[in-house]
Structure 1
Amino acid sequence: MPASAPEVPALPVTFRPTRTRFVLLTVGAVMFVVITAVALLLENLSAGERSSFVFTAVLFLGVLTLLSRPKVVADTSGVSVVNITRTRRLEWAEILRVNLRPGDPWVFLDLSDGTSLPVLGIQPGIAKQHAIRDARALRALSESRGSSDAH
């Protein structure tokens, strides 16, 4: 990411891949409706077979809903990183750097314990400019609220 001086957003702020989320939830809902309609329209299916169709539709919708979950919530005390199955709360001082390099699938946070945390809530997938803007805003917040004070 080029080093420009992005505007520091007002807190609290939530970053999420809105286009990706919209696509996943729309596809999940459409798949649920289509599979359920097929189960109800096929006359030769038993009740058990119909229920397995509906169960499969619910399973697809559940997986796509889970994949649409990632987000980052920043407030005055720190950042909550919500990835697919885990949520991690970080204090501002724990975040040393916000990285989104060319080719990265999402933002990575370099942390004070020497580890790196993937942040799936900011991903360039189908909205690259939106992700770059969000990554710059999160970097500006991190630099203004924590890492420069802690180190």
Structure 2
Amino acid sequence: MSDTSGLPALPVTFRPGHTRVILLTAGLAIFLVITWIALLLEQLGPGERLTFILTGALLFWVLAQLARVKVVADETGVTVVNIVSRRRLDWAEILQVNLRPGDPWVFLNLSDGTSLPALGIQPGLARKRAIADAQALRALACAHATAHTAEDQG
């Protein structure tokens, strides 16, 4: 591989830390408040209380799914975990890593002509960190593409 100084050590995980903490904290708070209300209301029967608690658990689960987004880079490629999907990519499949002004998250342009959103890098609450993460992923993709091209030619 070419000079890897300045590149993050692999494996590396990119995820929106602040957003994750907020979503999980809100989910837990919602679950606890709904459960507390279910137990506090004396006129509710056991089935109604269970429905309240299950509703709180469902809301927590939805927010946890939103919080699970990440991008994991390792020696062989990248795994993109979005809200309802997970996709494994080889480094050679990633042609470009984009985070343009106004984008809600990073987009990966792929060798099959498609674009894959990578929600694990999003500038919402931590713009500077998202830009640094996008640059790091771009540098990793370039370094591995260069290494892959050198191996093909050698």
TM-score above 0.5: yes
Q: Spell out the pairing of 1:83-122 with structure 2 (5 A cutoff).
A: 83-122=82-121
> Whole-Å Cα distance in 2 between the matches of residues 39 and 130 of structure 1?
40
> Whole-Å Cα distance in 1 between the matches of residues 34 and 106 of structure 2?
35
Structure 1 residue ranges, 4+ long, deviating more than 2 angstroms after superposition: 147-151
Q: Secondary structure at the match of 1:8?
A: coil
> Whole-Å Cα distance in 2 between the matches of residues 52 and 109 of structure 1?
41
> Whole-Å Cα distance in 2 between the matches of residues 16 and 7 of structure 1?
20
Partner of 1:130: 129
Letter of the aligned partner of 1:32 in structure 2? F
Write out per-residue CA displacement over residues 68-123 of structure 1, whole angstroms, 9 at most, x where no aligned residue: 01101100000000111111011101100000000000000011111100000000
**Which structure 1 segments of 5+ residues have no match?**
1-5
Partner of 2:58: 59
Letter of the aligned partner of 2:132 in structure 1? R
Q: TM-score when scaled to structure 1?
A: 0.93
Count of residues in correspondence between the two structures:
146
Partner of 1:23: 22
* Deviation for aligned residue 1:8: 1.2
Partner of 1:45: 44
Q: Secondary structure at the match of 2:117?
A: strand
Letter of the aligned partner of 2:108 in structure 1? L
**Which structure 2 segments of 5+ residues have no match?**
none
Given that residues 94 and 147 in structure 1 are in contact (C-alpha distance below 8 angstroms), is that contact kept between their aligned partners in structure 2? no
Letter of the aligned partner of 2:27 in structure 1? G
Letter of the aligned partner of 1:73 in structure 2? V
Q: TM-score when scaled to structure 2?
A: 0.91
Identity of paired residues, percent?
Answer: 62
> Whole-Å Cα distance in 2 between the matches of residues 126 and 94 of structure 1?
29
* Deviation for aligned residue 1:36: 0.1
